Amino acid sequence: MERIVPRAELSALGDSLRAAGRRIVFTNGCFDLLHVGHLRYLEQARALGDVLVIGLNTDASVRRLKGPKRPVVPESERAELLAGLRCVDYVTLFDEPLPNDTLSALRPDFHVKGGDYDVESLPETPLVRALGGEVVIMPLVEGRSTTNVVQRILESER
Instruction: Report pLDDT digits (tens) over 105-145.
Output: 999 999 999 888 899 999 999 999 999 999 999 987 666 66
CATH 3.50.50.60 fits 7-156, yes or no: no
Residue 24: in which H helix or E strand, if any? strand 24-29
**CA-closest candidate to residue 88, choices 134, 62, 114, 49:** 49
* Domain boundaries, given as residue ranges, for the chain: 7-156
Would you say the pTM of this structure is higher than 0.85? Answer: yes
In eight-state DSSP terms, residue 23 is P
Q: How many residues does the chain have?
A: 158
